[in-house]
């Protein structure tokens, strides 16, 4: 894809229709990038473990989150290195990880500690006999993991902190009553394409358009994330910035951060709506909305209201595109140089990752 958006063409329709491409993205993109772990909870105190699947329905990678005696959390493969059995089958307090098939025992850091009847095995144990440990980063109540990351997630956190660093990460409180889950009949990348531009707001989102100044909508691209800045109309709720903030003097209603390939951090004056886009099939996508409140007094005001309505409007458009790309009369299109920088950025990253050896 041409790096100059003025000359670039969008991904071809065949990209979204190809089962081969869909499967290749699992290995070439998702195993090399960071994922947020939603809805996984350890016991409140002491050493513990909690099994889960990474992106169920797509990656289905069995993992286990552990907490050691010193409070250190680790994310490990939940597959025994002896014969492939699942090691942990339920969450709860525990001091060791013991496979129920043949008794192989691991520490909570994944280190192999004991294996019955292996006294005569040569060159044992080897490094591959320990449980694979995933890279892990935390931000307030959020955990992020990666198997073989192409970039350091700290770079992402540092970039976001330049805008929202004045909000204490530990001040974000999960609000389960506002969580949502959506099922979209479209390719996951089409859903991301739609998110990554404000071009459609005046045409699709009447209520959102009423509280944002579309003329001053801005997109900023970084290495592996980009940011859309929504400016509030004069009477709408906006962030209260500390002195010296880079956006001091601007009425920012929302920061929409997207992290490659499928995470969306939508910061509003009231807190964070974190969206995770989960591929479920070539034309099936699940989207999780998880709510973290920072200032309850600002809930249900400004750009961060009516998120369900906005989501359903987006789904209708994306599902329409999914039907349209099946046409023999559509191959691909062009980018608006002023409004679709985020889409161009996303699609270039996809091309970069999928074409690597």
pLDDT at 98: 98
Percent of the chain with pLDDT over 90: 87
Q: What is the torsional sign of CA 178, 228, 215, 199?
A: negative
Query: Do the first three CATH levels of 35-146 and 166-354 match, i.e. the same topology?
Result: no
pLDDT at 213: 83
Domain boundary assignment for the chain:
35-146, 166-354
10 Å Cβ neighbour count for 312? Answer: 10
The C-alpha angle 141, 183, 200, rounded to 5 degrees, equals 90
Of the candidates 160, 153, 159, 150, the residue with the CA atom closest to the CA atom of residue 138: 153
The C-alpha angle 292, 58, 274, rounded to 5 degrees, equals 15
Supply the DSSP symbol for 70. Answer: T
pLDDT at 230: 93
Which stretches does DSSP call E strand in 92-212? 92-93, 97-98, 105-106, 112-114, 133-139, 142-146, 173-174, 180-184
Residue 152's pLDDT band (boundaries 50, 70, 90)?
Answer: very high
10 Å Cβ neighbour count for 110? Answer: 20
CA atoms within 13 A of residue 306's CA, in its CB half-sphere: 14
H helices within the chain, ranges in order? Answer: 13-17, 19-28, 153-164, 188-195, 201-204, 206-211, 307-324, 341-354
Residue 196's pLDDT band (boundaries 50, 70, 90)?
Answer: very high
Average pLDDT of span 150-175: 96
Residue 154's pLDDT band (boundaries 50, 70, 90)?
Answer: very high
H helices within 166-254, ranges in order? Answer: 188-195, 201-204, 206-211
Backbone angles phi, psi at 21, to 5 degrees: -65, -45
Burial of 184 by CB count in 10 Å (0-12 exposed, 13-18 middle, 19+ buried)? buried
Fold of 166-354: Naphthalene 1,2-dioxygenase Alpha Subunit; Chain A, domain 1 (3.90.380)
290 neighbors 174 (Cβ within 8 angstroms): yes
Mean confidence (pLDDT) of the chain: 95
| Residue 335 reports pLDDT greater than 90 | yes
Of the candidates 70, 69, 73, the residue with the CA atom closest to the CA atom of residue 42: 73
Rounded Cα gap, residues 111 and 72, in angstroms: 14
The CATH code of domain 35-146 reads 2.102.10.10
Of the candidates 264, 283, 258, 326, the residue with the CA atom closest to the CA atom of residue 21: 283
Rounded Cα gap, residues 93 and 38, in angstroms: 20
The CA-atom distances, in angstroms, between 213 and each of 69, 209, 232, 239, 291 are 51, 7, 6, 15, 25
pLDDT digit string, tens, across residues 278-298: 999 999 999 999 999 999 999
Average pLDDT of span 306-331: 94
| Residue 234 reports pLDDT greater than 80 | no
Q: What is the pTM of this model?
A: 0.94
291 neighbors 271 (Cβ within 8 angstroms): yes
Rounded Cα gap, residues 340 and 219, in angstroms: 8
CA 310 to chain centre: 19
| Residue 357 reports pLDDT greater than 80 | no
């Amino acid at each position: 894809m041409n790096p100059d958006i003025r000359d670039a063409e969008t991904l071809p329709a065949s990209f979204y229709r190809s089962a081969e491409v869909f499967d290749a993205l699992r290995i070439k993109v998702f195993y090399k990038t960071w994922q947020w772990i939603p809805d996984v909870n350890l016991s409140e105190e002491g050493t513990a473990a909690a099994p889960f699947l990474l992106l169920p329905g797509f990656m289905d990678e069995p993992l286990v989150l552990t907490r050691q005696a010193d409070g250190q959390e680790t994310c490990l493969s939940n597959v025994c290195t002896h014969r492939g059995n699942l090691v942990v089958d339920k969450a709860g307090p525990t001091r060791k990880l013991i496979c129920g098939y043949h008794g192989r025992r691991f520490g909570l850091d994944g280190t192999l500690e004991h294996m019955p009847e292996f006294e005569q095995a040569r060159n044992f144990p080897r490094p591959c006999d320990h449980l694979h440990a995933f890279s892990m980063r935390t931000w307030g109540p959020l955990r992020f993991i990666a198997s073989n990351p192409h970039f350091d997630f700290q770079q992402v956190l540092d970039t976001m902190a330049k805008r929202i660093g004045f909000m204490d990460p530990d001040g974000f409180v999960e609000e389960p009553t506002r969580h949502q889950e959506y099922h979209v009949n479209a390719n996951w990348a089409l859903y991301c394409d739609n998110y990554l531009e404000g071009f459609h707001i005046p045409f699709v989102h009447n209520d959102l358009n009423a509280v944002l100044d579309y003329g001053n909508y801005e997109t900023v691209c970084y290495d592996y994330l980009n940011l859309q800045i929504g400016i509030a109309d004069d009477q709408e709720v906006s962030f209260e910035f500390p002195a010296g903030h880079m956006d001091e003097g601007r009425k920012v209603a929302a920061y929409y951060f997207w992290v490659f390939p499928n995470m969306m951090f939508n910061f509003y004056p009231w807190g964070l709506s974190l969206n995770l886009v989960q591929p479920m099939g070539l034309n099936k996508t699940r989207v999780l909305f998880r709510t973290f409140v920072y200032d309850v007094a600002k809930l249900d005001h400004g750009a961060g209201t009516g998120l369900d309505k906005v989501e359903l409007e987006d789904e209708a458009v994306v599902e329409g595109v999914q039907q349209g790309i099946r046409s023999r009369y559509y191959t691909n299109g062009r980018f608006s140089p002023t409004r679709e920088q985020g889409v161009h950025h996303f699609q270039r990253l996809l091309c970069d990752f999928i074409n690597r050896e």
